[in-house]
Amino acid sequence: MERMIKNPLKNLLHKLKSLKFGQPAGRLAMFSASIKQILSLFSSPMRCIKGFIKYSLICLVIVSPLCGQNYTITIFGFPFVSVTMEKTPGELTFQAQTSGLLDYLWPTDNTYSISYDSSNYDFKQFEKKIHQGSLTYSLNSKYNFETEQLFYDDIALNRPPEIQTIFSMLVRVQEQQKEDLDTKWFPMEHDGQLFKSRYLWAETDTLLINSAEKICDHYRLDIKAVEDVTSLPEQSDYFMNNIIAKKAVRQIWVEQTIPRRIVQASVKLYGLTIIARLAHD
């Protein structure tokens, strides 16, 4: 079904981007009309809601590794998801919840926790608890350094000891200098599939975040599949499934001064750009 609607959806998004929005009330009316058009591309309203949340929440894992920080994820300038995260040395836990109309139509409350080696960012253990609409499940994985295998319950996958995750990669970009990251590929485990990931430093950029100018290192994050491995059957998590999409363009802005937070991130997929910004300083 998604393949059938991709081109019409891209055409609609192209039209939306060309529109000139006026006052907030006019923007809201236009946005509501746009949602109705998107609805017409799906066989049912619930299918549309799931498809829409799929793209609006894809930015979640880009802003994960910050200590006690809150982010707002927006699409067309409207907030849809709030993210709260807590970080201690070697551990990260964050929660994402839908907000506003989307929370009423199809509530999502996902929690992700990871432990890693704080000296080299190697993956140790990962857990996620997913609540998406009527879907509820949890998943655990743990790395065995003696056998060099990653275990998802009874499923064992061969992985090198230096294996990373999307989350440990995001911690690295805040704690390491661009000279230590730029153009270097790292093996990355992602829901039972083996990938490789790298940062490409683009420029020094200045962003206006909460009325304050932030001088940032601007990166692109590349993720490529290393082997053709089918995801575990339990994986229905929009966040994890779509952040590794082949055509996704992932960008991250990290402030150059301490505490070197990710202040903005964006993901562009199928012509749609989702933006995550620091909610408060």
The torsion defined by the Cα of 241, 246, 251 and 254, in degrees rounded to 10, comes to 60
Spatial separation of the C-alpha atoms in residues 178 and 42, rounded to whole Å:
43
Output the CATH code of domain 44-278: 2.50.20
Contacts of 190 (CB under 8 A, 6+ apart): 165, 166, 223, 240, 244
pLDDT score at 142: 94
In the chain, DSSP assigns E strands to 69-75, 78-88, 91-98, 109-116, 123-132, 135-144, 149-152, 155-158, 186-190, 193-209, 212-225, 249-255, 262-269, 272-278
Count helices and strands (H / E) in the chain. Answer: 7, 14
Place of tokens 């929660």: 95
Q: With contact defined as beta carbons under 8 Å apart, do 150 and 159 qualify?
A: yes
In order along its 281 residues, the chain shows pLDDT tens digits of: 444 334 444 444 444 444 444 444 444 444 444 444 444 444 444 554 455 555 555 555 555 444 557 778 877 777 778 887 787 889 888 888 887 777 777 788 889 899 999 888 988 999 999 888 888 888 899 999 999 999 988 889 999 999 998 888 888 998 999 999 999 999 999 888 899 999 999 999 999 988 889 999 999 999 999 876 554 545 557 778 778 888 899 999 999 998 898 999 999 888 888 888 887 76
Q: Which of 183, 203, 213 is nearest to 252 (CA)?
A: 203
Query: With b meaning 16 or more CB within 10 Å and e meaning fewer, what string describes 130-157?
Result: bebeeeeeebebebeeeeeebebeeeeb
Q: What is the SS3 assignment for 237? A: coil
Supply the pTM of this predicted model.
0.75
175: helix, strand or coil: helix
CB 112 within 8 A of CB 91: no
270 near 257, Cβ under 8 Å? no
Structural domain boundaries in the chain: 44-278
